[in-house]
Amino acid sequence: MSRSASTATETEQRAADRETMSMVQAINSALHCTMAADPAVLVMGEDVGFFGGVFRCTEGLYEKYGAHRALDTPITEGGIVAAAIGMGVNGLRPVVEMQFADYIYPAIDQIISELARLRHRSGGEFFAPVTIRAPCGGGIRGGQTHSQSPEGIFTHVCGLKTVMPSNPYDAKGLLISAIEDDDPVMFFEPKRIYNGPFHGHDNNGGGSGSWNDHPLGQVPVGHYRIPLGKAATIRAGRQVTVLAYGTMVHVAAEAIRTSGIDAELLDLRSLLPLDIEAVAESVQKTGRCVVIHEATRTSGYGAELVAEVQETCFWHLRAPIERVTGWDTPYPHAFEWEYFPSQRRIVDALQRTLAYH
């Protein structure tokens, strides 16, 4: 058998193992895989059981694994996380769904003071392997309580891992890693790209696509992991490094494409731990950096990125590091596209950075 023939067979085999999935389906598939593999894994949260979740991410789990493993809960986020901690301490591996990231706050004490610190305060005796999934981000006319991106609050807490995928392939592999990780993981799902990539609302090249047409919408049906703490290079480039995650990866990619700037785009995927090696390698090559997120600006995760880049790349920088973020206001219902960081705002920042010689 010739080498090329054997390669073709492998490729075919891999293709056969893959299916086109939306991000919702990929997340659902990750839950099916982990629940099939380990009876200690269960999902719990508001409307996740019989109904299959308001975004359909837990569909089919109730029928397949029963009411106790696709566990509908009372509406008390603090109670849900607290119960998940207790269940985790007693050998289970709960995957909590917060119906919206905006509704995590009633659970904040259980997350910050308990979940994140349990291992440390008990001298390593106790831990709770809880994953908290939360749909985040704007772009669905959700107003101020269905649009927030609170990831920066959690990266600020010691003891939590924080993840935000930007596509179905990553979502599944990262979620499986998160669930199988013995440390607590905050897993943010940008709901604007649940059903297709989104390029921003700008008139030029804006709008949404479908995951059917996207290479990362081809997702292995079986079990696989993407390690937490590894960034992905979406586009190699020489002029400037763009750091983004979640929905903004797609908006940034389109902004780069339409502007013709030779930017290197990194999808961080995991905010904590951060793949600082990949970030530093890129910025040391390009000498310029633009940081993008949808969350509010002040004390946001972008500030941490800017500090890290400055610390690791100071002697390579040829321009001040730029941040493109949401405004420091609640997410306004009528003005969500003026709030949402647009391609145009990104291109402006890229050009400002490139103007330094």
Partner 1 sequence: MPKTGGNQPAGAHSHPGASGAWVSKLHVPTGSSRPGEVPDFSALHLVSDGALFRPEPDCEVRDAEPLARGLVRVLDDEGVAGGPWLPELSDEHLLQGLRHMVQVRAYDERMFRMQRQGQLSFYIKSTGEEAVAVAQGMALDSGDMLFPAYRQQGLLFVRGRDVVDMMCHCISNARDNCKGRQMPVFYTWKDGNFFSISGNLATQFSQAVGWAMASAYKGEDHIAATWVGDGSTAEADVHNAMLFAATYRAPVILNIVNNQWAISTPQSFAAGGTTFAARALGYNIPGIRVDGNDFLAVHAVTDWAVQRARQGFGPTVIELVTYRVAGHSTSDNPDAYRAHNESDAWPLGDPVTRLKDYLIGRELWSEPQQQALEAELKEAVSRDWKQALSHGSLEDGPHWPVATMFDDVFQHMPAHLLRQRQQLEEEE
Interface residues with ligand TPP (CB under 6 A) are: 46, 75, 99, 103, 106
**Binder of partner 1 out of 18, 19, 20, 72 (CB under 8 A):** 72
Partner whose binding site includes residue 201, from ligand TPP, partner 1, none (CB under 5 to 8 Å by kind):
none
Nearest residue (CB) to partner 1, 44 versus 278: 44
Window 111-130: contact mask with partner 1 (x via CB under 8 A): ---------------xxxx-
Catalytic residue from among 32, 68, 120, 146: 146
Within 10 angstroms of residue 344's Cβ, the number of other Cβ atoms is: 16
Q: Is 250 a catalytic residue?
A: no
Separation between Cα atoms, residue 194 and residue 210, nearest integer Å: 10
Q: Is the dihedral of CA 129, 131, 132, 136 positive or negative?
A: positive
Separation between Cα atoms, residue 159 and residue 5, nearest integer Å: 48
β-pairing, 270-272 vs 161-163, is antiparallel
DSSP code at position 321: P
CA 50 distance to own-chain centroid = 26
- Within residues 41-70, the interface with partner 1 by CB under 8 A covers 46-47, 49-51, 54, 66-69
Nearest residue (CB) to ligand TPP, 59 versus 102: 102
> What's the alpha-carbon Rg for the chain, to the nearest Å?
20
Window 336-355: contact mask with partner 1 (x via CB under 8 A): --xx----xx--x-------
Does the footprint of partner 1 cover residue 73 (CB under 8 A)? yes
In the chain, DSSP assigns E strands to 18-20, 41-45, 70-72, 93-97, 131-136, 161-163, 185-190, 218-220, 232-235, 240-244, 263-267, 270-272, 289-296, 322-326
User: Least distance (Å) from ligand TPP to the CB of residue 101?
Assistant: 11
Nearest residue (CB) to partner 1, 156 versus 344: 344
User: Least distance (Å) from partner 1 to the CB of residue 180?
Assistant: 4
Who contacts 272 (Cβ-Cβ below 8 Å, separation ≥6)? 154, 155, 160, 161, 162
Binding-site ranges for partner 1 (CB under 8 A): 37-40, 46-47, 49-51, 54, 66-69, 71-76, 78-79, 88-93, 102-103, 105-106, 126-129, 141-146, 179-180, 182, 297-298, 327-330, 332-335, 338-339, 344-345, 348
Active site residues: 146
